Structure 1
Amino acid sequence: MSRRTRWIAAAIAAAVVVACVLGWWLLRSDADPAPEAEPPPASAAPTVTPGPALAPDRCQRPTRRPFTPERISIDGVVEDAAVIGVPRDSRGVTGVLPEDNKVDVAWDLGGIRPGDDRGNVLLNTHTWPDGSALGNAMLDELRKGDLIVLHGRDGRLLCYQVARRLEVLAADGYKPYYGTDGPPRIAFIVCSGTRSSAGEWSHRTIWFALPIG
């Protein structure tokens, strides 16, 4: 292999980085974690701007019909972030956003929607080692009792209140995250704990939030 060929191969390999992989294997004890490389420098991506406390009066007339989420507000964390539908892959692995997107939220495209009668609206976002991603802000600020508002087109919205926050070992998994036949709620997951030299986070933090209004 020539020096030029080796240089090109190295450049391509360096470009393939993942801030936090949140696929199906994250919640299964029999899966092998994929190694992660360092994310791009924080200065190359937008910053997460903390949001104010949400006004609960907006939740008095929630949408009653299911809708596709497009924006999200999280009490004291972010005022208005995009929600982007990401399909699962051929193995059924839950999709995540590109590794350099640290400010938006991924929704399980084709899965449970806000307003559906049963099941979990599956959301995830990235955590970065430098503490600058939306997942980091959630770990710092989002607690039981806080509000999460999902917005759709034409003014549709549905408010949720965080009912439970838990942290699980990545190796152990937590199957209830993927529930489809329980009460309607948000299930929001981010990487947490410590990050190994191989780029794998030790834990996952999950918030469950119930609809209100």
Structure 2
Amino acid sequence: MTTPTPDDRRPRPPAGGGGPAGPAQPYGHPRPGRAQPGAFPPGRPRPGAVPPGHPRPVPGYPIAAYRQPGYEQPYDDPGDSGRTLRSVLILAAIAGVVTVLVGVFYMAASPEQYGLADERSALPPRAQQNAAAPGQPYFQAPPTAPPPQPTVPAAPAMLPSTPMRLVIPRLGVDAPIKSVGLDKKGAIEVPPVGDPNLVGWYREGPTAGEAGPAIMLGHKDTRSGSAVFSRLDEIRNGDVIEVHRKDGTIAVFTVGGLEQADKSVFPTQRVYGESRAPQLHLITCGGIYDRSSGHYTDNVIAYATMTSTRPA
């Protein structure tokens, strides 16, 4: 007797096929007319089926779009809309950053036009002629013209003596003096920026109280703030400047005028020219601060003449 295989043990339809259950079906398939779990009743469309009269699906669009009542055009894919929105936002952000950078560049190039200039800003001209001529135009003359003089007569010149300290009561200046020479370019050295309250005296010229111009320089400001001559432009004709000398005397100078000159047309003869009277010329920076060069465009020069002396 042969052992039946699994297929031999399956129930077989009656001979001749058919019968109450209808024709034989492949193994595992339901017979027609019997509802199976998950099957849909007749007349109800299966999920994803296209109703009669609707267009066939278009690749890239969801099938659900074709099952909406009154369908005419497929709906937009939400994924495409999100990608488009993100692209627009990214482009807008990039455009904003570029606009800000361009604006910062222009403001940095011309800070005074945007109200952003720091302490190194425009210095208004305050050149004066002298106190004896009120209402006269500010001091302006060819570079070879002599410096303006105060109304008080000059005092006799003294013997040389190293200047030690500069005092300007009106401006609140009380600063030590350091001797300076010439730099590699042939210009007078400026005092070290590490000490903003320091005045440089040009040691190759006369000392304060000698006949001729004693030249002293000071910074208007430094990167950390104001410096010794930050208010030199506020000096007025008739103001007093004192120089304490090493010999124990104080040379008292009276201001005769103030000048602002472009560095390209610096009045060399007026500042350094010989004179029989003892004079004091104070120099600092002025005008517009040029960020590209790191320097001011002008110089402010105060001219004073010694009018008296006294012991320290």
- Bucket of the pairwise TM-score, normalised by the shorter protein: 0.5 to 0.7
Q: 1:136 aligns with which of 213, 230, 255?
A: 230
1:88-127 mapped onto 2 (5 Å cutoff): 88-89=182-183, 92-117=186-211, 119-127=212-220
Q: CA deviation at 1:154?
A: 4.5
User: 2:284 maps to which residue?
Assistant: 190
1:53-68 mapped onto 2 (5 Å cutoff): 64-68=158-162
User: 1:83 maps to which residue?
Assistant: 177
| Partners of 1:108 and 1:174 in 2: CA distance | 17
What percentage of aligned pairs have identical amino acids? 26
- Structure 2 CA distance for partners of 1:110 and 1:171, relative to 1, 3 Å: closer
Partner SS for 2:232:
helix
Q: CA deviation at 1:183?
A: 3.1
Q: CA deviation at 1:80?
A: 2.3
Q: CA deviation at 1:181?
A: 3.9
TM-score, normalised to structure 1's length?
0.64
User: 1:167 maps to which residue?
Assistant: 260
RMSD after superposition:
2.6
User: 1:38 maps to which residue?
Assistant: none
User: 2:304 maps to which residue?
Assistant: 209
Correspondence 1:200 to 2:277: no
Partner SS for 1:177:
helix
Q: CA deviation at 1:149?
A: 0.4
TM-score, normalised to structure 2's length?
0.45
Q: 8 Å contact 1:63–1:157 — kept in the other structure? A: no
User: 2:239 maps to which residue?
Assistant: 146
How many residues are paired up? 153
5+ residue gaps, structure 1: 1-60
Partner SS for 1:126:
coil
Q: CA deviation at 1:106?
A: 0.3
Amino acid at match of 2:303: F
Q: 8 Å contact 2:161–2:247 — kept in the other structure? A: no
| Partners of 1:107 and 1:136 in 2: CA distance | 17
Q: CA deviation at 1:105?
A: 0.5
Q: 1:71 aligns with which of 155, 162, 165?
A: 165
Q: CA deviation at 1:63?
A: 8.4
5+ residue gaps, structure 2: 1-154
Higher normalized strand content (fraction of residues): 1
Partner SS for 1:135:
coil
Partner SS for 1:194:
strand
Show CA shifts across 1:66-98 (max 9, x none): 211010101222352101111223554212111
- Structure 2 CA distance for partners of 1:110 and 1:132, relative to 1, 3 Å: same
Show CA shifts across 1:140-164 (max 9, x none): x311111000001252110000001
Amino acid at match of 1:204: N
Question: Which region of structure 1 is more displaced relative to structure 2, 84-93 or 196-205?
Answer: 84-93
Correspondence 1:158 to 2:231: no
Q: Which has the higher contact order (CA 8 A, sep 6+)?
A: 1
Q: 8 Å contact 1:129–1:195 — kept in the other structure? A: no
Q: CA deviation at 1:174?
A: 0.9
Partner SS for 1:76:
helix
Partner SS for 2:216:
strand
Q: CA deviation at 1:169?
A: 1.0
